[in-house]
Structures are given as structure tokens and as C-alpha cells.
Chain A
């Protein structure tokens, strides 16, 4: 699979034809001054977007930048508060998705919205089946579907059941359905998020052939490499505002990431944390993974985690940060590679096995994967320890009271009431309770995925401080965060993820945000990424 990605990157510059000049044809869609507000929030503020026929246009921005809202304005799901939407020069006011579709705008969403128990042809022509004598003319329907599929170069039997195909093919059928409505504009919202490298290839071929037939494609993706490979032009949004429009050929990945994040490459103040003893890594790692990976989620990855060391993981959303964490802690089961605990290979198929080996995991999705809302703070804290003891050996009430009191005090949890219901606590305090849940199990390795997301500044600083102290006491910590400053403040080593691969591992001897940003943006942009990738050569690949 990595070969596929490499090939893709190699052909990137050559494969992209120069976009037609602006003057050759006017935009087929022109949005200007779009404003949409929700109670208390201005989701879009004066945003513009132009889509040219025969061009793939990428819409870029971090989470919450307004990409989805803008797409929903274009497809008629949201009504706009101000601004104008022009299709072929004609002003439209969409009051529903049907009107947008009638104007020639088709959308394929991230989740496939088709009927898996119908045939491919039935799905493609659902609601507009060719009829004869008042009944559906199945032969004509299959013929029509076959024509469209052939036009897209897809080898799919129109009479087969949709559910019998993998998600990737279903996605392509969804595109075929969208195209069949004589779409002038095709909106693809994260179409590749559940596809593997080869499937992405097929999808891109289809998108290119549509582009060459004159369709304007709006492409939304978190994968920078894919965006640079496929798109001709891009629009960048940040915090609900328009930042810039570029020809893809005229911007580097680094510049793009800077525009998305909205930060100049300023030098950050160095931080107070002492780096781990350089001699320490010579000791046997607490946990070592070799070639660990999972199809479609993470390519084979090597990583060694040592006592007293904080390893930061950086990368954009969808780069594989969370996938790496989940494989490290047995939350997902790897389909390749192995896990070694203190030098011995261990089965690693459930969180329980990881916990028994001294590995603790705080998930990025606090609400869904951490908080047990209707239990008390005390029960939430004790849960992991109790689970390892089994139900027959309850943690003695006195021990429990003491542990809970100690951690409420040490982590400054408020309210300081062990019997408060967990769901009534603020996000920051819930996070602290979850940290306490794991610290009580006295883990050797603590994996923290976005431990400071969505919590207030004070709690954030306390958690960072705690991580530094834990490492100083000899715990190995994996610290994953979207905030690079935070990662650099704490980490002894930084692992950079991109496109579900580990692309670099750098010792944090004064790394700066700009260095990491450059690595995140792409290997071709700088030498930094090539600097240190220590383990990858020695590891046998599956």
C-alpha cells in the first residue's frame, strides 16, 4: 500500500494539467458574501467560492472552519442569511436540496446514503426509473445504468445487489448516481475517508474523467496529499471566513497549512521542561511496536516507548494519530505487526490485555468513550481498577474513599464531591476524573489522546503539569494533541503522522512549531522530515 502512495506522490506534479485560465469560461457556480448564523455563532461570515467547469476545486480548512456549512448552503440544506448564489450567472435562492439539485448541483456525502438491498441500477435510477406500460422497465434501467458506469470506466454489474460491493464501490455508485442527473457541479464531501489507497486511485480516475467531461467538482478532504494530487484550485476557510483562493500549482503544502491554522512561523518561547535523560533510551522500552498497522486506518508503524519519556504525536486530523493510539492500547485490533512489552511479544486484542500489561488510554472522545455519566465521580475513578480486580473483589470502601479523596485533591477536581454525578461536571473536571481513573491503576505507559481538547485554560495547564510530573516519576507517556505548542512543550520526542503513516520521528532538542509544521505539510517541502526516522529500516514489513 505504501508503494501506491509513493507512486501517487511521484506523479503528482506531472499528472496535473494546468487549469484553464480564468477568462476561458466563467464560473459555473459563484457564491459571494455568504453569511449564515446559528444561535450565538456566526458560522459563515462573508465567504465566497467560485467553481469553474472542468476543474476540481478543493475546499480547505480546519474543523469548524465552515466547510460543511458552506457545502450545505450550496446544496440548499441551509438557507443563507446574506450573500448570493449564482449558478450559470443566474441568481438562486435555494429553499431545499431539491432546488439545488434541479439547478444541477449533485452531492455525495461522506456516508453512503443508498439502499444496500437494491441493485446497483435501481440505486442509480431510484426515483426516476424508466417506465413502460406504467411499470418499471428493468431492462432499460439496467442498460442506462450500464452506460453511465461505462462512461465512468467502472466495471460493476448493474444487476448486482449494492450491498454485495465494498464501501468504495458503493461510493462510486453514489457518484455515478449523482452524475446521471446531468450534474454540472458535483460536491464530494470527504469521499476518501473510508477508502484504502487503491480504492482512492479508482475514485480519482473517475473524478478526473468527470472533470474532463466539463463537470465542476468541489472536493473536501482532510488528506493534504490527495488534495494536492487531485485539485486544480482551492479555497481556504478559517473560523467561518474566507482566507484565500489559490491555483493548486501556485501554493505549497506548508503555505496551505499555515493558512489553515492561521499562524505565522513565529518562534515560540522555550519551555521549562527538562528533557529525559539521554541515557534512558538505551534501557529496554516499556512498550515497543513493530510494523503495527490496520488496513485502511494505519500503515505499518514502528515505535518504542521508554520509561520517563514523553512522546508527542503531531499531525492533522485524520492523519492517523488516533488510529495509532487505539492500536497501541488494544482498543482496535491490529491486522499486522506485533506488540512487545518489556521485550516479550504479547497478544494485543483487547483493552483489557493492554491494561493488564500496564497500559492506560484516555480517549479523545471523552463523552462517548470515557465518561460514565450516571455514575458518581468516585465510581468513575475506581472503574478501571475495579475492572482489573473483577466483580467479586470490590475495592474496599476505605481504600476507595482514600484514593478518591487523594486524587480529587491532587488534581483539584471541582466540585470536590466524590458522590457528584459525573455528567454534571465540566469537561475539564471530567477529564481529570478520567486521568485519575487511569493513574489509580498505576500504569507504566499512559496514552493520552487530546487530553486537553475543549477544556478551559486553567485545567489545561494543570494537566500539562501533571504529565510532566508523571514522566519525571518514570512513567512513559504518549501525548497526542492538535496543538503543536503543547506537544512541543511536553515531548522528548515527536512523532509526525501524515496520511495514516508515521512520516518522521524527531528528538525534541529545541524543535520549533515551524519545523513540525513543515513535516506535517509534506516530505518534499523540507529536509527536516528526512532527518530522523530511526526504526523504520530495521523493521521487517508484513
Chain B
């Protein structure tokens, strides 16, 4: 029994339960939901679709997790994704070897370099000038789409390049490349934060900035780094989105992805107040968001109501994480006779 209770107290349990509940709902409505079939050396199925379409959100959410752990937030990731896609597509379209692999690689490298530059800008505003993160990144959130428009001349730039197409829509060993890329970045982030001291220092800065400063932590460098990392992740996500459609859409690429990412982080149990973060939680959170978005139309509810369901999900998760509700639930569990005291969430 004590193990069950410890499990219930772990922050990962509720996101997993929520995800499983969604999956069960889908299986009930559509018994073939979990089936995956191999065709032409590629995996197909609802689950694979969810993983592939969820890859950009997962990437952005990884960067967002680290930013939020430092008590920050990055609203500009959607715009950065759009800029990254725009830079890559315009460069490929403008090349005289439009379908060459080299062209795609150069273009994607340039796009990621631009994303990193934008991250440096965000980090500069937050860590050097001391502007509140929500304001500092709002600048690029609003101005960034304009930048993307400038890059694409206001046109939807379409490209035909098989190498570029691979990133968002291709398969490697039967698995979508986008999923592989997301998993590799996820693994690299986990290693980077948990095998070096970066994760611990990020958490220390997020939990108690003044104590960290007095302990000699270079919090400015740390904060700067996480904004650059978030922008890099957004850049990769932007490449995936553009590659999937073989086009750069400055207006709609990565639109509201920052909100999905924040949602994934919060559902995953990382507090917006900063401090301890959970990459595994973010992983589950991103899957939850994507599954929810897929579930709603498939059970016959109009897709436009998607946001409403997301809102309900957020409220439920936040309630489950709030200390008041948790202690009420705990009281309910330990003393069933006084069940009236604890309001079920």
C-alpha cells in the first residue's frame, strides 16, 4: 500500500492517468485505434499519426520546460518556428539546385542559426536587461510573424526538395523521421540536463535566484542558455512543420504552438513558478495534448471546440496539482468517514 500512495503523490501519475483515459475513450469509440500496420516499409495507424503530428509540440515543449524552470516563459516560439521554416524554404526555393540534398542541409543549418540568433535576443532581453520574460518574448511573438512575412515576401513559398521533405514527412526504418528527431532531441536534453549539472543549476536558479547568486551560480549565463535552447527547439519544430507541407506559411506555421507547449509543460507537472522540472512529464503532456486534438473530431465533436476541451483539461490538471485540492483529496483518502470535507475534483 505505501508504494501506491507514493505513486499517487508522484507528479507524473495524473498526466499518465489522463493520457490513458483518453486512449481508452478512443479505443471504445474506435476499436482499431491502437492498431498499427506496416505497409510499404512504413508504419501507419492513429497512434503513429499522433506521434508524428505531436513531434513539433514536443520539441517546443522541451525548450519551454527549461525556460519555465527558471521562472520564465517564452511566447515567441511559434513565431520562431515560422521564421525558421520561412528561411529554409526561401533559401531552397531560391537555389539553382532546388532538389539537391546539399541545398536542403545548408538551408536548414541557416534556419537553425537564425533561430539561435533569435534565442540570443530573447535571452539578452531577459537576463541582461532584466525585462520580464512574458514581455520580452511578447516582442518577438508579435514582431516575429512580420519578420517571417518579410522573409517570404508575404507569399506561401512552396519547395520541392526530397531531402527537406524527409524531415517532416519521411520515414526511416519504418518510423517517421519527425518522431525520431523529436526522440533524439528529447534524449539529448535529458542527458544534457541530468548528466551535466545544468539541470540542477537551472532548478536552483528557478527555486531561489538570490540564494543561487550568493552561492556563485552564474544565473545570467544559465538563463541566457535556456532561451537559446528554446529557440533552437522551436527552429527544429518549424523545419518539421514546413517540411511536412513542403511550404512556408508565415501566418499559420506554428500558430499557437507556444500555448500548446506551455500546456504540455504544465500538464507534465512542471510548475509555472519555476524550480523542479520533469522532461518525462512534458513528454506525456505533449502526447496528451496531441491525443486530445485527435480525439475530439474522431468521436464526432466538431474540431472547432478543441480549445474548449483543452481549457477543461488545463483546469482539471491545475486543480489536481493545487496544494489545496491535493490535501483535500489526501484527507479524503485517509479518513473516508469524513469524505464530505474533501471535494472531488
Contacts and interface: CB of A to CB of B under 8 A. Distances in A.
Given A387-B218, A391-B198, A371 B275 contact: no
B212 interface: yes
Nearest to A423: B207
Interface in A361-395: 361, 363, 368-375, 379, 383-384, 386-395
Contact of A351 (B197, B203, B215, B275): B215
A88 B103 CA distance: 91
Contact of B211 (A352, A356, A372, A395): A372
Interface in B316-335: none
B208 A394 contact: no
A147 B145 CA distance: 57
B210 to A, nearest CB: 5
Interface string B211-238: 1111111100010000000000000000
B214 A331 contact: yes
Given A387-B215, A390-B197, 6 more contacts: A351-B215, A363-B214, A374-B203, A384-B216, A387-B212, A387-B217
B93 interface: no
Q: Which 6 A-B pairs have the closest CB atoms?
A: A387-B216, A355-B216, A394-B197, A391-B198, A387-B217, A384-B215
B225 to A, nearest CB: 8
A369 B275 CA distance: 15
B42 interface: no
Contacts of B196: 391-394
Contacts of B195: 394
B71 interface: no
B175 interface: no
A288 interface: no
A395 B218 CA distance: 16
Nearest to B194: A394
A437 interface: yes
Q: For chain B, what secondary structure do more than half of its interface residues adopt (helix, strand, loop), or is it mixed?
A: helix
Contacts of B218: 352, 387, 390
Nearest to B205: A372
A373 B211 CA distance: 10
Nearest to B206: A374
B67 to A, nearest CB: 16
Nearest to B199: A391
Interface footprint category on A: 20 to 34
B200 A375 contact: yes
A372 B207 contact: yes
B208 A371 contact: yes
B207 A374 contact: yes
B204 interface: yes
Contact of B200 (A373, A379, A384, A437): A379
A183 B328 CA distance: 50
Contacts of B203: 372, 374-375, 379
A379 B204 CA distance: 9
Interface in A419-456: 437
B204 A369 contact: no
B165 interface: no
Nearest to A378: B200
A133 to B, nearest CB: 42
Contacts of A331: 214
Contacts of B210: 368-369
A353 to B, nearest CB: 9
A383 B212 contact: yes
A383 B204 contact: yes
A389 B213 CA distance: 14
B276 interface: yes
Given A355-B216, A394-B195, A387 B207 contact: no
Contacts of B275: 374
B201 interface: yes
A386 B197 contact: yes
Contacts of A394: 195-197
Greatest chain B CB density within 10 A among A379, A393, A395 is at A379
B211 A371 contact: yes
Nearest to A352: B216
A383 B215 contact: yes
Contacts of A373: 207-208
Greatest chain B CB density within 10 A among A351, A355, A389 is at A351
Contacts of A393: 196-197
A354 B208 CA distance: 20
Contacts of B212: 372, 383, 387
A245 B213 CA distance: 46
Contacts of A351: 213-216
15 contacts: A351-B213, A351-B216, A355-B216, A363-B214, A369-B214, A370-B211, A372-B212, A375-B207, A375-B276, A387-B201, A391-B201, A392-B197, A392-B198, A394-B195, A394-B197
Interface in A27-81: none
A384 B210 CA distance: 13
Interface in A218-238: none
A79 B48 CA distance: 67
Nearest to B218: A352
B211 A368 contact: yes
A372 B208 contact: yes
Greatest chain B CB density within 10 A among A329, A370, A395, A437 is at A370
Given A374-B275, A379-B204, A389 B197 contact: yes
Contact of B216 (A368, A374, A379, A388): A388
Greatest chain B CB density within 10 A among A350, A356, A386, A391 is at A391
A501 to B, nearest CB: 25
Contacts of B222: 391
A395 B208 contact: no
Contact of A375 (B198, B204, B213): B204
Interface in A325-370: 329, 331, 350-352, 355-356, 361, 363, 368-370
A403 to B, nearest CB: 14
B201 A374 contact: no
Nearest to B222: A391
A395 B200 CA distance: 11
A60 to B, nearest CB: 32
A435 B329 CA distance: 38
